[in-house]
Chains A and B, each alone.
Chain A
Amino acid sequence: MNTTAKASKAEVIKDASMLKQKEMMAKHYERLANAEANGEKVVSTFVPGNLNELLMCFDLVNNLPEVNAIQSGLRRQSGAYVMEAEKSGHSEDVCTYVKSDIGMMAKGNIGPNGKKLPNPDVLMLSYTGCFTFMKWFELLREQYKCETIFLQTPYMADGRITPNMIQYMVKQFKEDVIPKLEAVSGVKFDIDRLREYLRKSAQAEEDLVYILQSSKRRPSPIDAYFGGIYYIGPIFGAFRGTDDAIDYYRFLRQEVDQRIAAGLGPVTPDGQMGEEKYRLVVEGPPNYTNFRQFWKMFYEEGAVVVASSYTKVGGTYDFGFRHDPDRPLESLAEYCLGVYTNRSLPMRIEMLVNYINEYEADGLLINSIKSCNSFSAGQLLIMREVEKRTGKPAAFIETDLVDPRYFSAANVKNRLESYFQMVEQKRGGAGKGVAA
């Protein structure tokens, strides 16, 4: 297998799996662009609480506004979109994913392939772990005037899933979500079709967990944050429950196995990573407008991320959850309930502490995102608690998802360099770790 390839345009080194994923994404965006011509109906929905298997039962094509915003960020288009939304009355204080999406719509809704994204036939508002989702789709509904289906996922505030939560969600599926999807799509619900998709999901999920946990090794063969974002793409997006996802994760697993066998670390945009000096756990989403520059600040210093919370926003499979074809609706409910941002703050602290211990990390880095209160509110307490419980140093940086105005490269780099020095000092026993 060809493990790496050079994309000539920006001279970015990519794994073969990344190229494979790029092809999958390109194909999906083409399908979206041609949906109307091909008589396919489109559903817009979200990553956390994504019900892809259920939506496929109705032959709906999955469009994810969050992913579109990420694509706009990576292509440096989101800044203009955000400002376009602010010009039309949206507050500078609120989520930039929302504003990027609304600004993109105002400017013609052109997708990453340069073709217009279709208007959704239905908005599947799966409200999981983020209040903003609810307002986001109310805003889109105002524009598109299409059917909007709401699925409320109760918050796992007390660290457990109760029977009342499951019953509530299953009732919503049966009495509201499924009948409305049937009406919009004209396709009758077939639970056996759902079971089959869920079976495929579980298969891909096994490989995903193997890949994400491969970073317990030294050196880690993957970067579980920057690289991890690529790895979660298919399963968090439009491919969960498909053969494509099974193929992709099997392929990726083989690629990771090859790196393990060769004793290699992750592949970065500048090629094979050098010596692994620091092993970090990262909490919070990344910045997308300066994604490569941000990543470089890590790998240039020999820092590899061995575990991250962001790669669990679309499912916490590493804790054992698998979609279960024998309990299809209950399983979808449990999936939604378990996503990272639907977990209470004490659960998040526990999870990060365990990551630091299990992945033998040097410490915790929090990338606090201005846009995302779901992640950000409480992170300073998380930092203190994780430091207290692990004795490992933590650091705090602030950026934004897709608003380039909130990425200050010099500040971030400065913070990171100080943090790595602190890790060195800690290793040398030069006093207790404190926040950078």
Chain B
Amino acid sequence: MSTPQTSEIVARCQALYEDLNFTAAREWKEAEPGRKVIGFMPIYIPREIIHAAGMLPLGILGGGDQLEVIHGDAYYQSYICRIPRSTIELGVSGRLDFVDGMLFPSICDVIRNLSGMWKVMFPGVYSKYFDVPQNYEDEVGGRFYVNEMAEFRRDLEEMAGRKITDDDLRRSIGLYNRNRRLIRELYALRARTPWKAPAAEVYLVVRAGLVLPVEEHSALLEQYIAAAEAEDRPIRDNCRIVLTGMFCEQPPLNLIKSLELAGCYIVDDDLLLVTRWLIDDVPLDGDPLHNLSQAFLHQSESTAAKYEPDQEEKGKFLVRAVKRTGAEGVIFAAPSFCDPALLDRPMLQNVLTRANIPFIAFKYAENSGQMQPIREQAGTFADSIKLWSAA
């Protein structure tokens, strides 16, 4: 069988991205009796536990720019971000009627409160606020987290009607380790040669992993990496930037495309963080929940939803990302009314200023339609970076 072209792979991923009825996940569920699907919102949940229960973890990232929000707006004031209203729209319109459970990770007060709204609006669906520790001591936050995961495991066992063994968990951890390794490889490829793996394509390929079984997604990643490395594509005279602030409500695909068209290669980002939240392999030996907990405490990404206990470390992840990827600047792009991203932003900007790294900032919503102002701002930023570099 011949290796598919990037265009074929991306076309498939784009179809998955545009399908707000989640047909692929529905088909997976219908393929065998008794299968269950567990939806989850940003920013992170241990998908390994769901997988080990024989269930499909399904990423729910709002409705994007294609969903007309009719009912969802009736539940939120104008000053609340868009992702909860389009998520409610997905629920109320029946698009999630095949989903057996919904997880609302600890990211902000809006998503936290949405967990309670889901309980009221969809009483037949398992709904859980997934709390994580902000204390990173093994015997304090670590123990709390292990117990929280154990409770979740019991809940899923009840739903599945069977035990989730440690070996089930180890097998799932192994599969997700492989998936994360491939995504790290893809990000490294893009950082090295961003013209070979445009940000919009990388986004679509990674996002496909939120609706496909992990085994299938890993195969798809391998195909894309191979195809992207093999294809020649023209190099643009772009600058290289790190994109940050997009960890929850997703930008429209056009926004990502617009940034690259405006002259900014995206060489790192915080999109779809669940897919690479854990930055190293989770060990397979020993207690799997303990291992997942250790990885969360000591080997996970920094982001605004996490407390940084060390003032010296605050924002350093961004400086490191710039150095690691050879970026020349940072673009702060936050959803309107996003508390974590917007409250964090001044602190991160101060760190960048001290490190002499240029940046710009703007806001968006998942249904932003006007890209011209963003293109102009990003284009000017790219030009100014090139001018500084020349000087």
Contact = CB atoms under 8 A, between A and B. Distances in A.
A14 interface: no
Interface in A146-160: 148, 150, 152, 154-155, 157-158
A164 B144 contact: yes
Contacts of A115: none
Interface size class of A (residues with CB under 8 A): 35 or more
A172 B140 contact: yes
Interface in B43-82: 74-77, 79-80
Contacts of A89: 345-346, 349
A377 B308 contact: no
Contact of B147 (A91, A138, A142, A164): A164
Contact of A154 (B76, B80, B131, B137): B131
Contact of B343 (A139, A155, A157): A139
Contacts of B308: 138
B139 A175 contact: yes
Determine which residue in A90, A132, A155 has the highest number of CB atoms from chain B within 10 A of its CB, and name it.
A155
Q: Counting chain B CB atoms within 10 Å of each CB, which of A344, A368, A379, A385 scores highest?
A: A344
B144 A139 contact: no
A176 B80 contact: no
B117 A345 contact: yes
Contact of B144 (A131, A135, A167, A378): A167
Contacts of A348: 116
Contacts of B192: none
B345 A175 contact: no
Given A157-B131, A164-B151, A138 B140 contact: no
Nearest to A136: B343
A344 to B, nearest CB: 4
Contacts of B304: 135
Nearest to A135: B343
A94 interface: yes
Given A148-B311, A172-B135, A373 B80 contact: yes
B153 to A, nearest CB: 13
Contacts of B106: 155
Interface residues of B, number: 56
Interface string B98-129: 00000000101110111111011100000011
A374 to B, nearest CB: 4
Interface string A333-366: 0000000000011111100000000000000000
Interface in B323-345: 334, 336-340, 342-345
Nearest to B115: A157
A127 interface: yes
Interface string A242-266: 0000000000000000000000000
B84 interface: yes
B148 interface: yes
A88 to B, nearest CB: 7
Given A155-B106, A157-B129, A164-B148, A380 B74 contact: yes
A93 B342 contact: yes
Contacts of B77: 368, 370, 376, 379-380, 398
Contacts of B311: 141-142, 145, 148
B4 to A, nearest CB: 43
A378 B148 CA distance: 25
A378 B117 contact: yes
5 contacts: A93-B339, A131-B339, A138-B344, A345-B113, A377-B76
Interface of B: 74-77, 79-80, 84, 106, 108-110, 112-117, 119-121, 128-129, 131, 133-135, 137, 139-141, 143-144, 147-148, 151, 304, 307-309, 311, 314, 334, 336-340, 342-347, 349-350, 363
Q: Nearest 4 CB-CB pairs, A to B?
A: A345-B116, A157-B129, A135-B343, A168-B144
Interface of A: 88-91, 93-95, 98, 127, 130-132, 134-136, 138-139, 141-142, 145, 148, 150, 152, 154-155, 157-158, 162, 164, 167-168, 171-172, 175-176, 344-349, 368, 370, 373-374, 376-381, 385, 398
Given A98-B343, A377-B110, A378-B114, 15 more contacts: A91-B334, A91-B345, A127-B134, A131-B109, A139-B347, A155-B106, A162-B151, A171-B139, A175-B139, A346-B116, A349-B120, A373-B113, A377-B76, A380-B76, A381-B75
